[in-house]
Structure 1
Amino acid sequence: MSPHVRRAAIAAAAATLVAGAVYGSAQAQEDTSQGPSVQQAETLRDAASASGRFVGTAVNDGRLYDGNYSSIVASEFSSVTAENVMKWDTVQPSQGNFNFSGGDRLVDFAQQNNQQVYGHTLVWHSQLPSWVSNGGFNAEQLNAVMENHITEVVSHYAGQVAYWDVVNEAFNDDGTLRQSVFQQTIGEEYIANAFRAADAADPNAKLCINDYSTDGINAKSNAMYDLVSSLLDQGVPIDCVGFQSHLILDQLPSDYQENLQRFSDLGLEVIVTELDIRIQDPADSSDLQRQAEQYQQVVSSCVAVSGCAGVTVWGISDADSWVPGTFPGYGAACPWDEYLQPKPAYDGILTGFGG
């Protein structure tokens, strides 16, 4: 397997802080002075860079023209992930018709602010257009559809996207393979086929498999470990494993760091890709302090594992979090509150990186 080395580019992106550089109008630039974190003497971005890692966030495309929001993204983070605009139903809503406008906006924003782009996601059972999920394709046809989608998307962003979540959420919680349309129609080889197609389209991008509830050593993470070991044995071009880390307050696995380490020991990068820590409503000051400590523990675990390339939080503000809509009765999961004010969690992340 040929190495996919972008460390120099990533380090350069993480090392350069362009304070107040925002996307859009002059009004947005005026608003940067109101962003609370722009006033900080040290940012998450500075601290992560000093540790040799990136710190990222998922970006809500609809908020990029909000000056306060975009100034925080620009100044605090060295990596950006598209929350939704690079997913299949947005990029190829009908067969052969590609829409890259949202993804292009994020790439433009990242280039203006010396950030890397983390591509999310190429093959996933969710947010698929019906022409894929209910298309009635046989194995050969669906494999061709999948490989064409990967080729078109990765080629479009070749040289502009540092990492790709190539296959997302391939497992059930018990460690069996999820019976997605790809698994049911093509079989397990769809995973290796997807990585090979992505590698052919951009040999310099780092290619990851990503999942949730794999944060500790359990049936699901053991299955992931066996799969990536097998892929490596087959010479499949896989570079990294993403641990989503959608956590619940006071339920951080005690073997979190040990789990990251065993994947790193395979010679792969490990990345915390979608970190948030949800709290049962209503969150009080004690909850927020414990949340900060647990954010710090996650980040410190990454810093302690030499192969951990970085940490991405899944969104900035509680106002934009996916948590309340998905887990009723829970919220307050992000590092900034609904008014874009930093919470104790912000300091926890900063401290975790050594800031």
Structure 2
Amino acid sequence: MQSEPQYKPVEQAHFSLTTAENACKFGPIHPERDRFSWADCDAIFAAAEGANQAVRGHNLCWHTENPQWLLHGNFNASELRQILRQHIHAVVTRYGTRALAWDVVNEAVDQNGLKPSAPWYPKVKDYIDVAFTAAREAGGPSVKLFYNDYSAEGMNHKSGQVYKLVSGMRSRGVPIDGVGLQFHWSLDSHDPLSEVAANMKRMADLDLEVHITELDIKCVPQGSSEKCTPARLNAQAELYAQIVSTCLAAPNCKSVETWGFTDKHTWIGSSTEPLPFDANYKPKPAVDAMINVLLQKLNTSSA
């Protein structure tokens, strides 16, 4: 998609922040135990910086996108701690504060608490603390360290487990600066925005930032024969605008990022039409809706 002539001009004209979906993850960047492959992640940073865009570092530790040597190495807990620390030290030392923030650990809980996350958990019970501590050691006090997860936007069992995780980290003195809320939503199923605001507030009470990290809103359900009608496009636009407004109203919500921007390239399938630009790179109503919210905030702040 990077080679498509429309892709970069639209992205760079409309977005000030970019994330590599896969290029900077453990598997692609660390294909062998004693070898790192930096080229693709380097290119992401270089292209973004050349366009005056910030980069989100995504991600340092996850239960998927791991290399085969790590998954099948039969490492013990001590060896896994060493591998995790080495990996994080290498990546964060290389890029550091060139990233707006780092998703240090990704998607580690479900509604019952910490979930099995091969190869890390349950073999390394404190792997989250190990990961965040290593990131702070490598990057120093200025790097922003985040925990990132999905289906934890409102006040529900899973967001309660995320809150339990990060509040526990705070009480133990583990370095963490914020929580990434992914916001993979649908017009037909999403949390009340009042609950989102309440969730952001309780993170603020822990002195944690919130970033909206992977926003998309399915206009029609996956696998449905429904069409994304003009009425549904307008409803999608309104929900995008309401999410941005909710972030702007929360002093600790510092960033909103969509997970892709064109319906031509989306992890959930183009037929759901979840992103602000259509498959032909034309802006949908969501674009103007979000711009209007931002302009209103700007005008209010400067008045």
Q: Same fold (TM over 0.5)?
A: yes
Following superposition, the deviation at residue 249 of structure 1 comes to: 1.0
Letter in 2 for 1:168: N
Q: Deviations over 1:85-110 (max 9, x none)?
A: 01111101121211111111111112
Partners of 1:277 and 1:90 lie apart in 2 by: 28
Q: Deviations over 1:171-226 (max 9, x none)?
A: 12x23211012112101x11011001011111121000000000111111011111
* 2:273 matches 1:332: yes
Letter in 2 for 1:264: A
Q: Which residue of 2 aligns with 1:284?
A: 229
Pairing of 1:341-352 with structure 2 (within 5 A) = 341-352=282-293
- Unaligned runs of at least 5 residues, structure 1: 1-61
Partners of 1:159 and 1:119 lie apart in 2 by: 10
* 2:29 matches 1:72: no
Following superposition, the deviation at residue 83 of structure 1 comes to: 1.2
Give the one of 204, 209, 219 matched to 1:264.
204
Give the one of 128, 131, 139 matched to 1:191.
128
* 2:253 matches 1:308: yes
Following superposition, the deviation at residue 159 of structure 1 comes to: 3.3
The DSSP-based 3-state class of the residue aligned with 1:226 is helix
- Unaligned runs of at least 5 residues, structure 2: 297-303
Partners of 2:163 and 2:63 lie apart in 1 by: 21
* 2:182 matches 1:244: yes
Following superposition, the deviation at residue 66 of structure 1 comes to: 3.2
Length-normalised TM-score, structure 2: 0.91
- Name which of structure 1's ranges 210-219 and 151-160 shifts more when overlaid on structure 2: 151-160
Give the conservation status (yes or no) of the 8 Å contact 1:252–1:294. no
Pairing of 1:160-179 with structure 2 (within 5 A) = 160-172=98-110, 174-179=111-116
Partners of 2:59 and 2:196 lie apart in 1 by: 24
Partners of 1:265 and 1:251 lie apart in 2 by: 28
* 2:175 matches 1:230: no
Give the conservation status (yes or no) of the 8 Å contact 1:294–1:348. no
Give the one of 189, 207, 215 matched to 1:275.
215
Note the aligned Cα RMSD (angstroms): 1.4
Between Structure 1 and Structure 2, how many residues are aligned?
287
Q: Which residue of 1 aligns with 2:295?
A: 354
Pairing of 1:45-56 with structure 2 (within 5 A) = none
Following superposition, the deviation at residue 235 of structure 1 comes to: 1.2
Q: Say which structure, 1 or 2, has more relative contact order (CA 8 Å, 6+ apart).
A: 1
Partners of 1:259 and 1:107 lie apart in 2 by: 32
Q: Which segments of structure 1 move beyond 6 Å, counting only runs of 4 or more? A: none
TM-aligned CA distance change 1:178 to 1:352, over 3 Å: farther
Partners of 1:158 and 1:97 lie apart in 2 by: 20
Give the conservation status (yes or no) of the 8 Å contact 1:167–1:210. yes
Q: Which residue of 2 aligns with 1:207?
A: 145
TM-aligned CA distance change 1:301 to 1:175, over 3 Å: farther
Length-normalised TM-score, structure 1: 0.78
TM-aligned CA distance change 1:253 to 1:352, over 3 Å: farther
Give the conservation status (yes or no) of the 8 Å contact 1:336–1:342. yes
Give the one of 95, 106, 117 matched to 1:180.
117
Partners of 1:311 and 1:82 lie apart in 2 by: 15
Q: Which residue of 1 aligns with 2:35?
A: 97
Q: Which residue of 2 aligns with 1:25?
A: none
Following superposition, the deviation at residue 227 of structure 1 comes to: 1.1
Following superposition, the deviation at residue 291 of structure 1 comes to: 0.6
Give the conservation status (yes or no) of the 8 Å contact 1:171–1:220. yes
Letter in 2 for 1:268: L
Q: Which residue of 2 aligns with 1:119?
A: 57
